[in-house]
Chain A
Amino acid sequence: MKNLVLGAVALCSTALTPTLAVAQTEIQFWHAFTGRLGELVAEQVETFNSSQNDYKVVASHKGNYSETLNAGIAAFRAGEQPNILMVFEVGTATMMSAKGAIKPVYEVMSEAGASFDQNAFIGSVKGYYTSTDGQMLSLPFNSSTPVLWVNKDALKEAGIAADVDLSTWEKVGEVLDTLKASGSECPLTTAWQSWIHLENFSAYHNTPFASKDNGFAALDTELTFNSPLQVKHIQAMGDWAKEGKFFYAGRRNEGGANFRAGECALFTESSAGYAGIKSEAQFEFEVRPLPYWSEAAGAPQNTIIGGASLWVMEGHDADEYKATAAFLNFLSSTDIQAKWHQDTGYLPITSAAGDKTKADGFYNDNPGTDIAVIQMTAKEPTANSKGLRLGSFDQIRGIIDEELEAVWSGDKTAQEALDSAVERGNPLLRRFEQANR
């Protein structure tokens, strides 16, 4: 019945569009979301379209993050690019170097005469997408950061106190011992191993992942994630894998299925895992901050973000840029952002949206949902924790995945694997430098 009504509404609105469309400027928005997130994006677009009559946003799903970026690139080459393209954080360096293909967001806003306060955005989110002189090049859309998810029932079964200290990897190691001894098949699992256990790990311990401020300062950056601290961590994980305390499920978020089914006690995953865990988990769970090694000076620093931002493409007329500016402003407005943050577990991109969520009482009703925000914003980011800006980074992540798999399977030591990953990744950075000279 509901579908029927929706269908009828859709039919009527299509029938009515021709009369309305005369004065409307239509813009294309390509995104990478499916499922619940896809519905929420569609809802945002619908809210925007019905809130005014001048502009109409048409949202299209173009596959996963990599596929969406590819679709955007292919479309640009064919002169058919959308107005707004969603690009994941890994593609940031690629987009930034594509002068002539993208129009910086601050420019779009000022040309359209839209009010746009860059200081309203949370520093550590904004920092990822700004130029060296502090201007925003793209609009952060969905940003998350890794946290530790805990299956409280599994801890209880193993006779571990509910308030057990999990703040450091040393303490986590002890808990893993107890879990294993009590017969747990999967004491710990992870999603996005490179993002969490190397990229965020480095920022969180204030250790460089790559030279030249992780690539922010210059294109001639080199990977440096084979330093003693990272090696120690990966070796510890490798040892846990060998002893059956760390279960590796796959390169992406395959481990989420194991955790949500109640098989795993601890799970390092993005804060945006919230929506899925909340709807599927048949056990009590909680969120803890990402652990750190207590011996590391300066830890915990802050974690960095993952997710995507919206890039405005070149080659459209002024009216369309006005429409784009209006839509981007709408997306970053407090109510929309607060709702997005509460629905998905993604971070609020403006401080105001965070404050509103607090005032709504959301954090009290859903304990732990603010941990990601605190973890990101507790300290002022350093050159090591502002983010990463490396070319060909999707490929480099692939290399890291391969090398980490060699550690988990016991084929290589952490030192060998990370040395090899650095040695294989650097030529890709050189090629990127050459292509964007």
Chain B
Amino acid sequence: MEKRVRFNGWILPLCLVFPQILISGIFFFYPAGQAIWQSMFIPDPFGLSSQFVGLGNFEFLLSDKFYLASFGTTALFSTLVTIVSMVPALFLAVLADRLIKGATTYRTLLIWPYAVAPAIAGVLWLFMFNTRVGIVSWYLGQLGYDWNHVLNGEEAMGLVVVASAWGRISYNFLFFFAALQAVPRSVIEAAAIDGARFWRRFFTIVLPLLSPTTFFLLVVNIVYAFFETFGVIHTITSGGPQQSTTILVYKVFSDGFVGQDLGSSAAQSVILLLVVGALTVMQFKFVEKKVHY
């Protein structure tokens, strides 16, 4: 049986959705439309003149093999960030859910990192892994490992992934924890009486019941990795060494605001918009089918 609220007439519903439409219009459709318009021009930085080039900016981008490589980097980066931020969060949530004493303290401490802005988090991690004075790189040196993310692309990628995922663990923890609390105790107790051990109960009962939350977090974390990790990359690697940490959104920034090439930057944001749109549609079409609400 489906529940529906019915309105008489259309003025009240219109009034109710109007603020949302207004906000979407001003903060999403207007800038997105501008980006699409701008992507067809090569303007000079000061906005004094601009040349219409049609799809020229896209042609320029798609014939640049470094831009194409950036798609691979972005895919790797966002997959890693999503995994590294979700798996430990679930693990911690399960542990915190079983706590009897001091649960609030643990929870509060686990949520703290979320309060740290990405750029600041980047600086903190950079400090620990600084090749000269970093405490972690010093310990690694003692163990005989020469840490140098300034020249080693894989280490640089690892560092930006950890720095980006760190604060997100708290965010994900919060959602997983709330979802775990909502799992009915009676179901778990029944399984326990039937002799199911903890991990069996976890995989056959808890995890499926968590799936709406997991799906939500998957979407949100991928969007996070695509767009909001820019501060971390900017502070830690600036996209280097070579191009090993240049993700799409960082290139939008550096071409637009370092290179003053606003046409290319606009074209890149349009491409990014399409990529994320496609990803979200795909997730809802394929992944959501496996979700039990």
Contacts and interface: CB of A to CB of B under 8 A. Distances in A.
A434 B42 contact: yes
A416 to B, nearest CB: 12
In this complex, the interface size class of chain B, counting residues with CB under 8 Å from chain A, is 20 to 34
Interface in A63-90: 66, 69-70, 73, 76-77
Contact of A249 (B45, B48, B50, B150): B150
A409 interface: yes
Nearest to A100: B48
Given A392-B259, A431-B261, A431-B264, A98 B240 contact: no
B150 A250 contact: yes
Interface string B260-273: 11011000000000
A428 B260 CA distance: 11
A250 B236 CA distance: 11
Interface in B39-96: 42-48, 50-51, 53, 60, 64, 66
Contacts of A263: 132
A431 B42 contact: yes
B238 A251 contact: yes
Contact of B254 (A77, A251, A395, A409): A395
A395 B255 contact: yes
Contact of A94 (B47, B241, B260): B260
Interface in A39-72: 66, 69-70
Nearest to A417: B242
B151 interface: yes
Nearest to B43: A435
B254 A398 contact: yes
Contact of A435 (B51, B239, B242): B51
Interface string A379-415: 0000000000000101100100111011011010000
Interface string B20-56: 0000000000000000000000111111101101000
B235 interface: no
B151 A248 contact: yes
Nearest to B56: A434
A427 B60 contact: yes
B52 to A, nearest CB: 11
B60 A395 contact: no
A392 B131 CA distance: 31
A257 interface: yes
Contacts of A168: none
A408 B131 CA distance: 16
Interface string A425-437: 0011001001111
Given A101-B46, A427-B60, A437-B51, A392 B241 contact: no
Contact of B46 (A98, A250, A251, A409): A98
Given A100-B46, A249-B131, A73 B150 contact: no
B47 to A, nearest CB: 5
A402 B240 contact: yes
A316 interface: no
Most chain A CB inside 10 Å of its own CB: which residue of B60, B150, B238: B150
B260 A73 contact: yes
A258 interface: yes
A394 B258 contact: yes
A405 B43 contact: no
B151 A408 contact: yes
A184 to B, nearest CB: 15
Contacts of B44: 97-98, 435-436
The 3 tightest CB contacts between A and B, nearest first, are A395-B259, A101-B46, A405-B241
Interface of B: 42-48, 50-51, 53, 60, 64, 66, 131-133, 150-152, 238-243, 254-255, 257-261, 263-264
11 contacts: A69-B260, A73-B46, A94-B260, A98-B44, A99-B48, A249-B131, A392-B259, A392-B260, A394-B258, A409-B152, A431-B42
Given A98-B44, A98-B48, 10 more contacts: A69-B260, A73-B45, A94-B260, A101-B46, A257-B133, A395-B254, A398-B258, A408-B151, A411-B242, A431-B264
